[in-house]
Amino acid sequence: MKRFPVTCPSCSHRLEVKRLCCSECGTEVEGVYPLPDLTALSAEDQAFVCDFVKASGSLKEMAALLKVSYPTVRNRLDDVISKLQTQNHD
């Protein structure tokens, strides 16, 4: 599965969105917009966050879904939180 590019292939800086367009009517919006922090996470971490939200933030439900222990889910969540906090400081 191809991932949405988030870093420049030339200099490795974070990419920004410059233009959006509607495939239905052709309207285009131009400007410079930062990508959401979640796009910088790996596909696996993004899926974890989506599942976590769908589970209403229940670590217990996530443990059952992933078939791992509660502390394992807690550690995984802490890791994702750390990655997101690092993104905010870049």
Q: Is the pLDDT of residue 88 over 70?
A: no
**Distance, CA of 12 to CA of 23 (rounded, Å):** 30
Domain-wise residue ranges, the chain: 37-89
Residues 6+ apart with CB under 8 A from 75: none
Pick the CATH number of 37-89 from 1.10.4160, 3.90.930, 1.10.10, 1.10.287: 1.10.10
Of the pLDDT bands very low, low, confident and very high (cuts 50, 70, 90), residue 1 is low
| Residue 26 and residue 13 in contact, taking contact as beta carbons nearer than 8 Å | no
pTM: 0.75
pLDDT (tens digit per residue) in 47-80 = 999 999 999 999 999 999 999 999 999 999 999 9
* Phi, then psi, of 5 in degrees rounded to 5: -70, 135
DSSP string for residues in 16-67: EEEEEE-TTT--EEEEEEEPPGGGGS-HHHHHHHHHHHHTTT-HHHHHHHHT
| Residue 46 and residue 36 in contact, taking contact as beta carbons nearer than 8 Å | no
pLDDT (tens digit per residue) in 15-46 = 999 999 999 999 999 999 988 889 889 889 99
**What pLDDT score was predicted for residue 44?**
93
